[in-house]
Amino acid sequence: MQEHRQKRASIYREITDKIVAMIEAGPGIFKAPWHLPPGMAIHPTNASTHAEYRGINVLGLWIEATLKNYVSNLWASYRQWGSMGAQVRKGEKGALVVFYKRIEATAPDETDHERTGTLRYVARASYVFNADQVDGYTPAPAPIATFNQIEEVEAFVEAIDARIDHGHPLAKYRRVEDRIEMPDRTWFVGSNGHTAEQSYYAVLLHELIHWTGAEHRLNRVFGARYGDHAYAFEELVAELGAAFMCAAFGVATEPRPDHAAYVKEWLSVLKDDPRAIFTAAREAQSAFEYLSYLATRNDAGQPSKDA
């Protein structure tokens, strides 16, 4: 039992350490794994099942793609590639992904699983390979982001029906007043291959993730666990949630200098608790799905990929 617990703990630590290393590698520009170049603004997807990876696995596979310079967003296990007539090249190493196995809860609550009612979900590790690591597979052409996708974001945001006021010097969600403040669209500029429109919508989606945390919505409260890091942790959730949304719409994200103040606190949280990034990714995924639900309910725009 102890050996299994140590193995599960290593899953959390391995992914967390990679994320910390990537953030620390570029402190001058505050770069993190979810700050993607335009060509990588797309969700990692299983090549066999066509299902998009979720939560922490999105971050983990973005990291692997960045470190190894993979172009494809398609991943699959060794066996899955074989079933599609492809072969993983000799010497290639797989990327870690995490899934949760459901078992009956017969013991007191522990720290290595998620609990729902009488069930608990225990973390298990698996390994997948990128399409760039295999021979004998010809993927369909990757979709290219266009301005229509930005218009799609506009329709999506309109369907959410959040109160958004423009003309403010900074982007901010005011929880007490339940409204989002944004600079005017014309104040945003493009940089590093990102258009001004992409910059604007990436910031707006970040604030919408904050908006989901209101008490009468998802009611995110982190103070009891993360203490003085609560505010920075909420920023981390918003950063991840916005990255998930941007990837769904094909909108690239880039580092934001105004978030530099949170980087040190992010690192402190991640180093103190290797499960923190998993919690943040889970909360970000919930916010992503909540916004997608609101858009669907209002019969308006949705991300081009399934939530």
Q: What is the pLDDT of residue 269?
A: 79
pLDDT tens string 161-206? 999 999 998 889 998 999 999 988 888 876 666 778 888 888 899 9
Q: What is the pLDDT of residue 135?
A: 96
Reply yes or no on whether the pLDDT at 252 is more than 50. Answer: yes
Q: Could you tell me if 57 and 191 lie in one domain? A: no
Is residue 16 included in any domain, yes or no?
no
Q: List the single range of 13-27, 73-87, 164-178, 274-288 with lowest mean pLDDT.
A: 13-27
Counted domains in the chain: 2
Last residue of a domain, one of 135, 158, 190: 135
Host domain of residue 234: 147-297
Q: What is the pLDDT of residue 105?
A: 55
Query: For residues 116 and 15, which has the higher predicted lDDT (pLDDT)?
Result: 15
Q: Could you tell me if 116 and 218 lie in one domain? A: no
Q: Could you tell me if 71 and 197 lie in one domain? A: no
Is residue 127 included in any domain, yes or no?
yes
pLDDT tens string 24-40? 775 555 566 566 655 55
Tell me which amino acid residue 81 is. W
Average pLDDT over residues 154-166: 93
Query: For residues 21 and 234, which has the higher predicted lDDT (pLDDT)?
Result: 234
C-alpha 137: how far from its chain's center? 27
Last residue of a domain, one of 135, 157, 183: 135
Q: Could you tell me if 271 and 182 lie in one domain? A: yes
Is residue 95 included in any domain, yes or no?
yes
Q: Could you tell me if 109 and 151 lie in one domain? A: no
Q: What is the pLDDT of residue 149?
A: 56
Q: Could you tell me if 154 and 211 lie in one domain? A: yes
Q: What is the pLDDT of residue 4?
A: 44
Pick from 41, 29, 137, 51: nearest CA to 99:
51
Q: Could you tell me if 242 and 200 lie in one domain? A: yes
